[in-house]
Amino acid sequence: MAAAISYDVLVAGAGIVGAACALEFARSGLAVAIVEPAEVGGGATAAGMGHLAVMDDSPAQFALTSYSQALWSDLSAELPRDVEYLPCGSLWIAADEMEMDEVRRKHGYYTARGIAAEILDECALADAEPNLRPGMIGGLLLARDSVIYPPCAARHFVAEARKHGASLFQGRRVMKAEKGAAWLDDGTRLIAGKTVFATGTAAGATFRGLNVQPRKGHLLITDRYPGFVNHQLIELGYLKSAHSLQTDSVAFNVQPRKTGQLLIGSSRQYGVDDPAIEAAMMSNMLRRAIEYMPALRGVSAIRGWTGFRAATPDKLPLIGPYPDAEGVYLATGHEGLGISTSLATAKLLADLLLNRQSAIPLEPYAPTRNFAHA
């Protein structure tokens, strides 16, 4: 454990969001303490797919994801090998004419905002991804989307933050914080001007009135099949599944890993807190994957797992001051985009702590709006 000194900012939680914040704060010259009860990058971050995507659900989601993608792209050259950065692009698959209309709408949206996007017709799609079921109508290629291995990125960020002077208190949990101090579960009082809670789904239980719900997801990884899939492939129906706030859902979502493995997703469930793999959910998810890509029937799976996304009612993260305690900040509620948006979250919070002008407006992510929902 590091020597007891005073810190400008304490970061509770060393998932990808806390780790990115710690690094950004330390690089900006702040004295940083990181407190993590378990493994660095071991929470939702270890369970996530690591798809770095620009999304267009809302102007605020687009602003955050596109800002963050540019930051990932700038950082990519300095990421260590084990982060497995793969600039494979995303392909949104249209199975029918209605989904093809959505491809055209998205194409217009992205290109009008300077994001490279290309419409593929049936032939071009089949050439790009020969293992897709024949007869898919087309797709949208977002060539600048990419993929990483999230837990190694979190570990890298914490290691870099420590090189910039940050202290890591591992095996400890933040119990309480206020302006000037935070208390750990062993009774230690740390002097910290500000505390940022990047505690993922745990934030829902820590802050009274905060509406952050765990949203369970299943994933499965296969043996190595280099070239089987060339892009992150997502059915356009995924958007319906991601938007549903009540019903359990599965969607075709397959990712090529740098190792040649295939990561197969994904499912979404509310109201479940048992992390056990559910056979019915896993088999629904695989059935959907095989519908889109029949050759998956022949691949060997190595491991399946589950994780919990921290979901907010309006599907935007909570980034900014906690309204009921001065000096306390939130960085949670990133649902299925926390890997993608971690770097932008870190920049926005650093801007806030240091009174810097932000690259995008902060207001849409202000935690105050979430308390109104509670």
Ligand X SMILES: Cc1cc2nc3c(=O)[nH]c(=O)nc-3n(C[C@H](O)[C@H](O)[C@H](O)COP(=O)(O)OP(=O)(O)OC[C@H]3O[C@@H](n4cnc5c(N)ncnc54)[C@H](O)[C@@H]3O)c2cc1C
**Cβ distance to ligand X smaller for residue 149 or 228:** 149
- Would you state the structure tokens that stand for residue 157, as one six-digit string? 């960020």
Enumerate binding residues for ligand X (CB under 6 A): 12-18, 35-38, 42-45, 47-51, 173-174, 198-200, 202, 217, 219, 265-266, 307-309, 332, 334, 336-340
Taking the C-alpha atoms of residue 315 and residue 313, their distance in angstroms, rounded to an integer, is 6
Biggest CA–CA distance in the chain, Å, is: 64
Minimum separation from the CB atom of position 49 to ligand X (A): 3
Taking the C-alpha atoms of residue 325 and residue 147, their distance in angstroms, rounded to an integer, is 37
- Would you state the structure tokens that stand for residue 30, as one six-digit string? 């702040």
Angle at 203 between CA 201 and CA 206, to 5 degrees: 135
**Cβ distance to ligand X smaller for residue 69 or 131:** 69
Contact 196, 286 (CB under 8 A): no
**Cβ distance to ligand X smaller for residue 36 or 100:** 36
**Cβ distance to ligand X smaller for residue 66 or 100:** 66
Q: Say whether the peptide bond before residue 266 is cis (omega within 30 degrees of 0).
A: yes
Place of tokens 């999230």: 150
Number of other residues whose CB lies within 10 A of the CB of residue 262? 25
Minimum separation from the CB atom of position 86 to ligand X (A): 12
**Cβ distance to ligand X smaller for residue 257 or 309:** 309
Minimum separation from the CB atom of position 135 to ligand X (A): 27
**Cβ distance to ligand X smaller for residue 28 or 340:** 340
3-state helix, strand, coil in the chain (%, to 5): 35, 30, 35
Minimum separation from the CB atom of position 116 to ligand X (A): 19
Contact 24, 199 (CB under 8 A): no
**Cβ distance to ligand X smaller for residue 45 or 312:** 45
**Cβ distance to ligand X smaller for residue 100 or 367:** 367
Minimum separation from the CB atom of position 168 to ligand X (A): 11
Angle at 357 between CA 356 and CA 362, to 5 degrees: 105
Angle subtended by helix axes 150-163 and 16-27, to nearest 10: 30
Query: Which is nearest to 44 in space by CA: 349, 364, 342?
Result: 342
- Would you state the structure tokens that stand for residue 364, as one six-digit string? 């849409």
Minimum separation from the CB atom of position 205 to ligand X (A): 9
Number of other residues whose CB lies within 10 A of the CB of residue 294? 13
Minimum separation from the CB atom of position 84 to ligand X (A): 13
Taking the C-alpha atoms of residue 120 and residue 103, their distance in angstroms, rounded to an integer, is 9
Minimum separation from the CB atom of position 213 to ligand X (A): 13
